[in-house]
Amino acid sequence: MVKYQYAYDQKGQVIFIDDLTKDSLIVNKFKCISCGNEIIARLGRLKTKHFAHKEIVTCSGETYLHQLGKQLFYDEYKKCLTTKTPFTIEYQERQICNARETKFKVSCEFGETTKRFDLTTYFKDIEIEKNYDEFRPDLTLINKDTKEKIFIEIAVTHLSTEKKLESGNRIIELKIKEEPDLIPIKLHHLKKDGERIKFKGFKKSTDKKNHCKGKCRHKFDVFIIKDNSRPQLRQIDLERLEYILSQDKIDHYDISKQTEGFQGDKFRYKIAKAHKNGVKVKNCFICRYHGENTTSDFRENPIVCKFLGIVCNSNEAAVCKFFKVESNYIDGYIANWKELMDMYSMGDGEK
């Protein structure tokens, strides 16, 4: 015999076994949510309270959970609307800091924060199994003024189709395997929970403002040229960059998102790009006579000068009278960077 914890009472309302009283047992007959046959309440002390069919019948547990999920959601949402009780969804809001956006034309990722939204403040109507174009959602929350809607899907064995999920409609899908999975509905609070609760078609919420109050904590890759065209690539925050600009004469700088693991390639790319854009830059990496040091001290002295026969730092070109730009190196560094970014799906690494 199938045992359930929910049933319809004589008024057609869903009732939970633990909410039964002796009086309700006397005046009520209960029906199965799945098959509609009469069921009786088992309230013994030795076994878990449950409803059981009065007679042996064929009844689908899957249908029971699906019908129960729909009806329970409908009843609880209507109750919230009537009593002005919140029915909330929980989501992550992306925080963007624009403290120095006006000056540097970039904003900072400040992290994420948890937010809650009361659905009943905006969606004042709910419907069960009403067709919308080619879709028939289990339930639909509706704002009749704006015509906006959210589909609610109760998934037991059959998840929502890809066509429905990719339709662009906002969908909340609740995976119900057993009765305890209904608890979020009874608590009037839904949040993303792996395979159990999914949100589809919702735009990611963003809060853009001066979050850091000027105390930056997000670092960028900053390419700087100063001191007779000596380039640097540094990982610093915008507060530090602002300080550098106030203290030193900077000939050129640009800001890009960090691309960890590619700093050497990015440094060469930035030099090449700056030269292409007409910026005065002298560095051994774009000199015709350079080779790359493969010995153990390559980090300190990455360059082998084929003309002078020495190893040196790449910025020695700034004072070298033999420096001569080789266009093949320029084009090669730019092409290499584009290939790397395409390979790792990082765009151009510039934002």
Q: Which long-range contacts (CB under 8 A, 24 or more apart) does 212-218 make?
A: 212/97, 212/99, 212/108, 212/110, 213/99, 214/99, 214/100, 214/239, 215/239, 216/97, 216/99, 216/100, 216/108, 216/240, 217/108, 217/110, 218/97, 218/108, 218/109, 218/110
Tell me the C-alpha to C-alpha distance, in Å, between residue 93 and each of 112, 116, 202, 282: 5, 10, 12, 45
| pTM summary value | 0.72
Structure token pair of residue 137: 């959602």
Measure the CA–CA gap between 313 and 301, rounded to whole angstroms.
Answer: 5
Q: Provide the 8-state DSSP code for 325.
A: B
Domain residue limits, the chain: 3-59, 83-208, 219-343
Query: Could you identify the residue written with the tokens 């704006």?
Result: 146
Q: What is the pLDDT along the chain (351 residues), one digit of tens a residue?
A: 446 899 998 888 899 998 887 777 766 889 999 999 999 888 877 678 889 888 888 888 899 999 999 999 999 999 999 999 999 999 999 999 999 999 999 999 888 999 999 999 999 999 999 988 778 899 999 999 999 999 999 999 776 666 676 677 899 999 999 999 999 999 999 998 878 999 988 888 999 999 999 888 899 999 999 876 789 999 999 999 999 999 988 999 999 999 988 999 999 999 999 999 999 999 999 999 999 998 888 888 999 999 999 999 999 999 999 999 999 999 999 999 999 999 887 666 564
